[in-house]
Every structure is written in structure tokens, then in C-alpha cells.
Amino acid sequence: MNNRPEDLLKGLVQLSSLPVIYSKINEAVSNPRSSMKDISNIISDDPGLTSRLLQIVNSAFYSFPSKIETVSRALFIVGTQQVRDLALATSVMSLFKGIPEDLVNMESFWRHSVACGIGAKILATYRRCEMNVERFFAAGIIHDIGRLVLYKKIPEKAREMILRSRAEGKLLYAVEKETIGYDHSDLGRVLVGFWNLPPSLEEVVAYHHAPRNARRYPVETAVVHIADIIAHAMQLGSSGEHYIPCLDEKAWEIVGIPASVVSPTIDQIEREVNDVVQSLFGNPDNDEECKKKKVSV
């Protein structure tokens, strides 16, 4: 058995970098000389991504009063950094193929991730966080990404850990650590580092089960921690975990919001999750169809 998460990632060439389209978007957004037209053109080069982005900005996730029909309009209304983070979410989803169905149903996995992302965005809004709330959504989407690496690289061992977790009544991440010496959050942290994503995302992924250990980005980590527990309690999809993880009470202190926000957060997640899952998870047939069409910039 590999003793370090870095060892398990060796040989997964397809995960060594994010899709080129996201890298181009990120580079353009980070370049002060890039215009909104430049960024719009990059996104529009990928009709599948364009379709999903337009679907999500027209979904209950934003609830804009009028339909947004072009990428340039989406960039103007939503913001370039926010669209970049939405592109990250949909890019990550495209990387994982061939996960055994008896380990995890991928739509169920992404449903849990989306519910966590939506919850994190809502909680961040309640807290009036200064950074764009789509970054919280993206963090929620990728928080369990290390678990997909386990399913892809060591499916038999992953199956054994899932069965042991349920048989012994233990949280899956605890069984992972006991069995292989690290858990999916450790693995996810290394993968996010390979992708050169922002340090805030790396810390959220690393400590979403132990937010009090986050040093540089405690608020972001605590928000995703709480959102993850809410998503588990709502039973919206599953990443493989059968039980509801324990709430770190320190997270409530860090975030500084009243418990009264939980009920409206649950209501809003219920209103938005199906729409967002359809927008991001998409329909492969629709993606192929839109590739045949010219997409408006």
C-alpha cells in the first residue's frame, strides 16, 4: 500500500493538470491586459462549457429577472472571476470517467458536491464575505475530490473501506486513515496542489473535516465544513459516506452566523440543487448537439 497520497497519484496522467480551457480562462482573468471580449472568446471556443455556464447563470442559482443568452453578457452580469470559478467546477467534473458504479454513482456524487457548494455560497452570503461567493461554491464542488482518486486508483480497497465503515458504524474518512494512513482530504489537498489552484481551495479541501486546523483560510474552511454536514443531513446524493460527519463546534465560532440561518439555507438548497446539477452535470447528448452549433459570444 502507498504510504503517501503523492504515491497514489503517480501514474494518473489524466489528472496531472486541469483541462486546457480552464487554464486559458484562468490565465486571461489573471492578466490585466485581457479584455472581457478575450475571455468571452476563450470560453466560447468550448461549446459544451459555454452551454453549461449559460444554463447555470440562467438557473435558480442566480434567479436573474431576464434570460442571459451570451457569454459576454454572463461575464458582465456575473463577473469574470466568478465565471472563472464556475468554469473550474465544470472542468473538474469532466476529469473523472470510468468510476465503478457499485462504488459510487457519479451523478449522486456530484449532487452531494453541488449541494455542499450551494450551501457554502449561501452561508458565505449570510456572513457577507468579501471574496466572491462563487469561490465558496467551487470549494464545495471539489471538497471530496480525493475520494474519486481512491475509487479510480484502488477500487477494491475503496470498496473494502466503504463496507467496513458501514459494518463498524465508523465515518468513512476515519476508516480511510486507519486503512491506508491518510484520508481523501489529504489526497485532495495534494491533487489541488498539482493543479496549482488557489491556496484557499487547497486548505478547504485539506481541512473540511477539521476546520479548526485551518490557519490561512479558517472562514472558507469552516463554511464548507458546515455546508458539507448540511448536505449530508439532507441526504442529497453521496460521495460514499454513509453517516453524517461530526460538526466541529469551533466552525460556528469561526463563521460567526446564528443557527437560525440553517433552516432558510436548507430551503434554498432544495430550490436550487436540481437546476444546478442539471446545468453542471449536464446531458452528454446535449453537449454533443451544442458542439454542432455556433455559440453566441
pLDDT tens readout for residues 120-129: 999 999 988 7
Instruction: Determine, yes or no, domain membership for 34.
Output: yes
How many Å apart are CA 139 and CA 74, to the nearest integer? 21
pLDDT tens readout for residues 96-108: 878 888 889 999 9
Do 37 and 175 have their domain in common? no
Instruction: Determine, yes or no, domain membership for 8.
Output: no
pLDDT of residue 213: 96
pLDDT of residue 97: 77
Closest C-alpha to 26, from 84, 113, 100, 98: 84
Q: Specify the number of domains making up the chain.
A: 2
Q: How confident is the model at residue 269 (pLDDT cuts 50, 70, 90)?
A: very high
What is the percent of the chain where pLDDT is above 90? 62
Q: How confident is the model at residue 236 (pLDDT cuts 50, 70, 90)?
A: very high
Instruction: Determine, yes or no, domain membership for 6.
Output: no
Ranges 15-29, 156-170, 256-270: which has the least confidence: 15-29
229 and 249 Cβ atoms separated by less than 8 Å:
no
Q: Concatenate the DSSP letters of all residues of the chain into one string.
A: --SSHHHHHTT-GGGSS--HHHHHHHHHHH-TT--HHHHHHHHHT-HHHHHHHHHHHTSTTT--SS---SHHHHHHHH-HHHHHHHHHHHHHHTT-----TTT--HHHHHHHHHHHHHHHHHHHHHHT-SS-THHHHHHHHHTTHHHHHHHHH-HHHHHHHHHHHHHHT--HHHHHHHHHSS-HHHHHHHHHHHTT--HHHHHHHHHTT-GGG-SS-HHHHHHHHHHHHHHHHHT---SS--SPPPP-HHHHHHH---GGGHHHHHHHHHHHHHHHHHHHH--HHHHHHHHTSPPP-
CB-CB neighbours of 96 under 10 Å: 18
pLDDT of residue 273: 94
pLDDT of residue 287: 42
Do 252 and 122 have their domain in common? yes
Instruction: Report the first-to-last Cα separation within the chain, whole angstroms.
Output: 49
pLDDT tens readout for residues 72-119: 999 998 889 888 888 888 788 878 878 888 889 999 999 999 999 999
Residue 279 has pLDDT above 90, yes or no: no
Do 48 and 106 have their domain in common? no
Do 89 and 234 have their domain in common? no
CATH number where 194 lies: 1.10.3210.10
How many Å apart are CA 87 and CA 218, to the nearest integer? 24
Do 91 and 102 have their domain in common? no
pLDDT of residue 102: 85
SS (H, E, C) 85-113: HHHHHHHHHCCCCCCCCCCCCHHHHHHHH
Instruction: Determine, yes or no, domain membership for 172.
Output: yes
Do 121 and 226 have their domain in common? yes
Task: Provide the residue range defining the domain that includes 22.
Answer: 18-95+282-297
pLDDT tens readout for residues 49-76: 898 889 989 988 888 999 999 999 999 9
pLDDT of residue 53: 87
